[in-house]
Amino acid sequence: MAKFALKEKAFSLRKEGKSIAEIAHILSLSKSTVSLWCKEIKLTKLQREVLYHKMVEMGHRGRLLGALTNRRKKEVSVTSAQKWASDLFGSMSERDFLFAGVALYWGEGSKADGGHLSFVNSDSAMVLFMYKWFQVFFQVSPEDFIPRIYINEIHRPRIEEILNFWSNLLELPRSSFRGTIFIKTSQKKIYSNHSTYYGLLSLRVKRSSVLKYKLLALVDLMRNAGVAQVVRASHS
């Protein structure tokens, strides 16, 4: 189609209320060319409103498609990562179980000289792991644990639910729990996990000074072995 005819067609389409992008697509022209040709054409108020709503709809559709694409990319990445982790991890041996507990205690357990052995965390799976770990490797009986909850004052109305959660998880009677410590700090924002947050649980072990020395010795061995491994790797 000759340039003059294309221009006339562009004028006609614009007067019908077509967008610059639509005209460019129909006539296989660049948007800048169509915009230049049609800049003098004034659309009616109704035509402008139709184009505006169409633009919003297309933008919303584009965002939805973008979100869907990103979600699918994430799903592929997560699946790939899970397979990689499964292949690398394999099955957990007793030695692996021991080292995992030592590493967790190194990060979250009491390490100061004197005092009782205790492990503190808000992750219920981690607390349960260490609860079983102490029993398997150090023969700590359930009766020798003294659990205590630390939680913000804002959760006081939920304390019965919170106590029941930890009591059921560890299969320990509520009578074995020390008094809950309510932390009095201002918290203006109510978080989305408010109704599913159960605070920090401190797992303290009775008469545990000797056990604590053993655990700290294991932590030292892991620390030293880890440093040695890093040094060897840096020189390889």
Q: Can you say whether the dihedral through the CA atoms of 218, 224, 230, 235 is positive or negative?
A: negative
- List beta partners, residue 134: none
Calculate mean pLDDT across residues 216-226: 89
**Contact predicate 176/129, CB 8 Å:** no
Q: What is the pTM of this model?
A: 0.66
* C-alpha span between 47 and 227 (Å, rounded): 71
Q: Which amino acid is at 107?
A: G
pLDDT of residue 234: 64
* C-alpha span between 144 and 17 (Å, rounded): 80
Residue 109: φ, ψ to 5°:
-95, 165
**Contact predicate 116/208, CB 8 Å:** yes
Segment 146-193, tens digit of pLDDT: 999 999 999 999 999 999 999 999 999 999 999 999 998 776 666 677
Per-position b or e across 125-143, b if 16+ CB within 10 A of its CB:
eebbbbbebbeebbebeee
DSSP 8-state code for residue 157: G
**pLDDT above 70: residue 7:** yes
Calculate mean pLDDT across residues 46-68: 76
The segment with the largest mean pLDDT, out of 45-54, 125-134, 203-212, is: 125-134
Q: At what angle do helices 31-38 and 20-27 cross, to 10 degrees?
A: 120
Average pLDDT, the chain: 86
**Contact predicate 159/180, CB 8 Å:** yes
Q: Where are the beta strands (DSSP E) in 132-214?
A: 145-152, 181-183, 200-205
Pick the closest to residue 143 from 185, 204, 86, 90 (CA basis).
204
Segment 25-49, tens digit of pLDDT: 888 888 888 888 888 778 888 888 8
**In angstroms, how far is the first alpha carbon of the chain from the final one?**
69
- List beta partners, residue 147: 203
Burial class (CB in 10 A: 0-12, 13-18, 19+), 97: middle
Which of the residue ranges 4-18, 109-123, 168-182 would you say has the lowest mean pLDDT?
A: 4-18
Q: At what angle do helices 209-235 and 94-108 cross, to 10 degrees?
A: 100
**Contact predicate 150/119, CB 8 Å:** no
